[in-house]
Amino acid sequence: MQDLPYEVGKLTISRRYDLGTFAAVKPWRVGRELAVQDLPGTKIRVFFYSASHIQKNSLNLHFSMDEQNEPKIIRINILQTSMTLGTYLGAYIILAYLVTMLTVKYPALSLLAVPLFIGIPVVAFFLIRRFRDSTQVPFFPFPVSWMLSILTFLFATVLSCMAAYLYLRFLDHGALAAGLTARMDLMMQSSQETTALMTDPAQVEQYNKTMELMQQTIAWFCSLPASAMTKQLIQSSLMWGNIISLIIGLLTAKRIKIQQ
């Protein structure tokens, strides 16, 4: 691929892709060109990134809003940026895990733990949006925003799950499992009082099945070693991270504004 800019204004819409390099294993070696909307009479002349303009771990956005000026180059290091944002997000997730651990001993903290977990996608969205605005580029495409989001969640998962494993392996000493078991025993005792007030046999049976399922799940989780608990935590974090990254990528994508 030659390092030549594409002159626009001849076609109504041009979409140029290099799908071979876009499917590369390393996500920061992206070689897919941006879709460019070319309207006659606009001042937008060049807007693309290509494999030949990408240095290691970096992404170059070329654009010019004035035909008399040379194309401006803004280099985005996706790997370094996602590591930085992932560190911030990972620190927030560690705080949420810490508050959740303390709820076993202090049940009142559950009022704080739930908002902290709900706020994880909100914090990730504001981090990605703040970085997008700091670059001051008029066009932030969905592939870039999605890739940045998913790598941010990846590094945040590594950091938070590493902290969780160290806690479970060296500091917990079975306190979490004992606390969850004690809390579950209290719930089973209170469930007997709850079912005594129910009059519908089908409702009582459904409630008892739900409580038994919860008890079996807690017992299974508490029987796992620290490595297996961390593995379950990694799987759930990656699953939700992929879903949230897709939503954040759609919300933070910034399309070019063409003035007539």
Q: What is the mean pLDDT of the chain?
A: 75
- The number of beta carbons lying within 10 Å of the beta carbon of residue 67 is 12
Which pLDDT does position 19 carry in this prediction?
Answer: 36
pLDDT tier, 49 (very low <50, low <70, confident <90, very high otherwise): very low
User: What are the tens digits of pLDDT across the range 77-130?
Assistant: 888 999 999 999 999 999 999 998 888 888 888 899 999 999 999 999 999 999
pLDDT at 221 over 60: yes
Mean pLDDT of 2-12: 42
- The number of beta carbons lying within 10 Å of the beta carbon of residue 248 is 26
Distance from first CA to last CA of the chain, Å, rounded?
32
Give me the percent of the chain exceeding a pLDDT of 90: 36
User: What are the tens digits of pLDDT across the range 169-206?
Assistant: 999 888 888 888 888 888 888 877 777 777 778 888 88
pLDDT at 30 over 50: no
